[in-house]
Structure 1
Amino acid sequence: MARQLPHESQKKYLVYAGTGTDLIFNHGIELPGFASFPLLEKPESRAILANQMKAIVDLAGEMKVGCILDAPTWMANVDRAAPLGYGAGQLVDVNRDGVALMEEVRQAAGHDDVLVSACIGPRYDPYADIPPLSVEDARQYHSAQMSSLKDTSVDLVTAYTFNRPSEAAGCILAARNVDLPIIMSLVVETDGCLADGTKLVEAIDWIDAATNAAASFFMVNCAHPTHFSRALKNHPRLKGIVANASICSHAELDEADELDEGDPRQLGKQIAEIARDNPSIIVFGGCCGTDMRHLKSMARELS
């Protein structure tokens, strides 16, 4: 059945995109290349993925808000999965299986405001020094993963951690071509700008112009509130913030041997303050370094 998406609803939604660091530092699970989709292959690790999402479903039900369940498919595209031994044919099954697991969690949830999303990642490491990707090249590249999601129970796709406007635009067009609603989540540096120096709101406007505003809306993820709070500008198309626990830069986090979990209570207060200044924001969540303590703090402060 067709479900209301966040921008069509009057509810707030929670999302948890910090599963990777939780798996590594709190569960002691190795993630080669930061890919979590190989965990779908074993019952014990599959159960851990399901329990991560069950926790956010339970919290959302307790707080009477909606939630978005992201399938563990951020790295399940051709170039980033190839070093792990996965071919294009296998990735079709991986993407479908990730959605199927989230559907199992939804069916067990017991309330209606649960959306299943397929998590889409950029073609390359977003923090690497790589050549630019044109809008058309990005559209063709991301079309493979989008096509694999057709005829699944997925409600939408969420593209996380994109920091190149041209690739973001191409990814949005690939989703449009298969009639999948898409949330585009951009990532900023400590100065609130994308990696190429583009201001966040300027990037959103450029992407919308290049795609005829085909994205459902935009979010920011994988950055601390102190990095992006001044960059949001109450932009009407920016409706989600998915924050890191740590104030460290991406380079510092990449080199860290220990988890920087920040201050969950303070993070909740910072998110609530941003929500007051940017009333168009309806999706809130945690990214790297966060766990249910951070999400509970956000939900409590937002309520």
Structure 2
Amino acid sequence: MSTYRQALPQLGDRLFITDGGLETSLIFHEGIDLPEFAAFVLLKDQQGRDALENYYRSYARIAKQAGLGFILESPTWRSSPDWGQKIGYTKAELHDLNTAAITLMESIRDEFESADQPYVISGCIGPRGDGYRADNRMTATEARDYHADQIGSFALSTADCVTAVTMNYVEEGSGIALAARDQGIPAVISFTVETDGRLPSGETLDEAIALVDEVSGGYPAYYMVNCAHPSHFESSLAEMEHIDRIRGIRANASRCSHAELDEAEKLDDGDPEEFGLDYRRLLNHFPNINVVGGCCGTDQRHIEQISLRLIGRDAA
């Protein structure tokens, strides 16, 4: 059974870190081929599971050493019906792999969690379409139906919550919130923003949060920002009316736009030390944010710098 589903510990004051850019790390640093950026395919054999275990353990150790909580975000960003079918998986196989992903997260939690350091398991949900572009948009009802199977798999597992990352338009985030409400599992919605701090579909973060809350009756436990450099959205956070609804950030290492990243042939991993300082500044300005990790281009170096800076941020 879920350990924390009824009372997510990240809704308190404790600091939590999560991992970095799973797919970019596996592809560019480990040389692992991921069809359609789908890390869940590694769950099908022992060699792949070993690679995932090593990846998650490296971050779990950073959290352990820093005395921080940890969010175990499952490697299931692409394991929804359309993407699964595109690379040859049936709905039944996707259900089994989504469940296996949570079982893997549970094994990491059992290894590292202690009474004073909670390790929360989250079922990761990705967009039906491209993570950078708001194309082939669904209505909230269509998104609710599309994501129901994957969320249902997580609801039947030991996952404590689901987190929808790289959401780039409001209706898909709304549909996921509704589907999670249907299944009785807490939901976190994380929006992608462009260099101007707006969603690719044009809404501000404030507008997006207000709209999802309106459609879902305020169901999301909290919201996050992801897949953009801190310089792209810091000023937007300062202007937000609903800043109290944002509790998490998973930023990119690169200052490049999504269009530039799409064209890049090499991974831009930025400056890990500067990245840590960016996070310390953000959390000093926005103390409600207590879940932090990385997105594209980030790895253990970036998360370690974040953890080191956050431990001493008040004295800095």
Give TM-score scaled by structure 2 length: 0.93
RMSD of the TM alignment (CA)?
1.3
1:202-234 residue CA offsets vs partner (Å, 9 max, x unmatched):
111111111111000000011100111111136
Corresponding residue of 1:99: 102
Percent identical residues: 40
Q: Which runs of 5+ in 2 are unaligned?
A: 312-316
Residue aligning to 1:42: 45
Amino acid at match of 2:91: A
Cα distance in structure 1, aligned partners of 2:181 and 2:72: 21
Q: Distance in 2 between matches of 1:7 and 1:69?
A: 12
Partner of 1:163: 168
Q: Deviations over 1:180-206 (max 9, x none)?
A: 111110000111000121111111111
Deviation at 1:17, TM superposition (A): 4.2
In structure 1, the residue matched to 2:314 is: none
1:182 to 168, 179, 187: 187
SS at match of 1:146: helix
Q: Distance in 1 between matches of 2:144 and 2:250?
A: 25
Is 1:141 matched up with 2:146? yes
1:261 aligned to 2:261?
A: no
Task: Decide which of 223, 228, 243 is 2:233's aligned counterpart.
Answer: 228
Change (3 A) 1:129 1:117: closer
What SS does the corresponding residue of 2:268 show, helix, strand or coil?
coil
Quick one: structure 1 residues 129 and 198, their matched pair in 2 at CA, closer, same or farther if it must change by over 3 Å? closer
State the secondary structure of the residue aligned to 1:158: strand
Q: Name the SS of the counterpart of 2:155 in structure 1.
A: coil
Q: Would you say the 8 A contact 1:61–1:111 is kept in 2?
A: no
Kindly indicate whether residue 173 of structure 2 is the aligned counterpart of residue 151 of structure 1.
no
Structure 1 residue 151, shift from structure 2 partner: 2.6
Q: In the alignment, which residue of structure 2 is the partner of 1:216? A: 221
Shift of 1:117: 0.8
CA contact (8 A) 1:40 1:46 kept: yes
Over residues 123-155 of structure 1, what are the superposed CA-to-partner deviations in whole Å (9 max), with x where a residue is unaligned? 111334623211111111111111112331111
Q: Secondary structure at the match of 1:232?
A: helix
Q: What SS does the aligned partner of 2:132 have?
A: coil
Aligned length: 303
Partner of 1:68: 71
Q: In structure 2, what is the equivalent of residue 272 of structure 1?
A: 280
Aligned to 1:88: 91
Match of 1:31 in 2: 34
CA distance in 1, matches of 2:262, 2:110: 36
Aligned to 2:54, which of 51, 56, 62?
51
Counterpart of 1:246 (choices 250, 254, 259) is 254
Q: TM-score, normalised by structure 1?
A: 0.97
